[in-house]
Amino acid sequence: AYWALFAGAHGHTYGCHPVWQMLGEGRTPVGNARNYWHRVLDLPGAWDMIHVRNLMESRPRITGAPDPAMIVSDRGNEVNHLQAFRGEDFAFIYLPSNRSITVDPVPLKAERIRAWWFNPRTGVAEKIGDFNGTSPHIFRTPVAGVDWVLVIDNAAMDYHF
C-alpha cells in the first residue's frame, strides 16, 4: 500500500484471495483460496489498512506528489526500493527494511523540520526531533524489522499524530 500511495495512487484496496473472488459455500475456488471470504475479513492485513488511512489523513496530501529526489542516499531497488511522497509542508518516505537514509528537506522550504518514525504495523508515530531544514540529514530506522515510514514536517505547521 505504501509504495503505491507514495508513488501517486489515489487509493488502495486490501487484497486477500478469497475476498477478491467472494469465495463462498457452493462456489469453486479460483487458484489456491482456502477459506470463505467472510472468514478472512479480520486477517491482520485488513486491520493494517486503518494505519495507512490514518497516516494519509494526518497531512494535507491532496496536492502532494511523488518526490524521489528528496532521498539523497541510495534509493534501493526492487523489493527494497524507497518511495518518497511530498506535499507542500510534509514528506512521507517508505522504507521496506531496516536501514539508514539521507534526506534533503530543502523542497519543504522550512527553516526547521520535525521528523517522526511511523510504524505501519502498529500505527504509532514516534517523534525523532526537530532539525535544520536547509541541509540533508541522516535517519536510521529505530529497530530491526520491516516497514517504516519516515515523516518529515515543516515544524512551523506543528502537525501531530
DSSP 45-92: HHHHHHHHHHHHHTTTGGG-EE-GGGB-S----GGG--EEEE-SSEEE
Distance between terminal CA atoms of the chain? 20
64, 87 Cβ separation under 8 angstroms: yes
Cell of 149: 515510514
Cβ atoms within 10 Å of 122's Cβ, excluding its own: 9
Return the domain boundaries, the chain.
2-50, 64-157
Name the 3-class secondary structure at 116: strand
Q: Which range is least confidently modeled, 10-14, 22-26, 53-57, 59-63?
A: 10-14
Q: What is the pLDDT of residue 45?
A: 82
Mean pLDDT of the residues in the chain: 93
| Domain 64-157 architecture | Sandwich (2.60)
157, 108 Cβ separation under 8 angstroms: no
Instruction: Write down the pTM of the prediction.
Output: 0.88
Place of cell 515510514: 149
What's the rounded mean pLDDT across residues 62-70?
94
Q: How far apart are CA 149 and CA 118, in angstroms?
A: 5
| pLDDT of residue 66 exceeding 80 | yes
Q: What is the pLDDT of residue 115?
A: 99
| pLDDT of residue 144 exceeding 80 | no
Short-list 46, 52, 133, CA closest to 89: 133
Structure confidence by residue, pLDDT tens digits, 86-96:
999 999 999 99
Q: How far apart are CA 41 and CA 59, in angstroms?
A: 28
| pLDDT of residue 145 exceeding 80 | no
| pLDDT of residue 14 exceeding 80 | no
In percent, how much of the chain has pLDDT > 70? 100
